[in-house]
């Protein structure tokens, strides 16, 4: 689908900001590996250039993919829709618990968390009521 985005961008049909979410580890999709995420990012870098991206790792790969995305300068999606656990054998109490874990990982590695306003600006989303 990266090729489709590149085609639509080149034709002027798709304008920025372009947001890509790499979803790895789902049945029928790419396995959630560091190599696959790096490949997807490098491909998007070459074909699309300027874009915002995140990763969602399904199941047990959720936090590993989150850590990899953070290390590569990307964003992260976590939640119970992708993984029911906070760690091996321990059910997460809520999606918020998973978000807090990723926040700790990001901040511990020197990254800042975008405010709602900053995230809206990055994604080009206007606030509507």
Q: What is the DSSP string of 50-63?
A: S-EEEEEE-GGGHH
Instruction: Residue 54: name the closest of 28, 82, 27 by CA.
Output: 82
Contact call for residues 2 and 30 (beta carbons, < 8 A):
no
What CATH architecture is 2-122? Alpha-Beta Barrel (3.20)
Q: pLDDT tens, 56-105?
A: 999 999 999 999 999 999 999 999 999 999 999 999 999 999 999 999 99
Q: pLDDT tens, 47-58?
A: 999 999 999 999
Residue 30, CB-side half-sphere exposure with 13 Å CA sphere = 17
Range list of H helices, the chain: 2-10, 34-47, 62-71, 95-108, 116-123
């Amino acid at each position: 689908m990266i090729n489709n985005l590149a085609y639509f961008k080149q034709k002027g049909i798709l304008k920025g900001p372009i947001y890509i979410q790499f979803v790895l580890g789902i049945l029928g999709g790419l396995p959630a590996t560091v190599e696959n995420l790096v490949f997807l990012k490098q491909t998007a870098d070459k074909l699309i250039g300027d874009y915002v991206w995140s990763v969602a790792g399904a199941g047990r790969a959720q936090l590993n993919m989150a850590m990899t995305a953070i290390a590569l300068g990307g964003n992260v999606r976590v939640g119970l829709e992708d993984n029911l656990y906070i760690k091996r054998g321990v059910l997460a109490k809520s999606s918020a618990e998973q978000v807090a874990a990723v926040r700790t990982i990001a901040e511990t590695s020197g990254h800042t968390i975008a405010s709602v306003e900053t995230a809206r600006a990055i994604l080009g989303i206007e606030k509507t009521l």
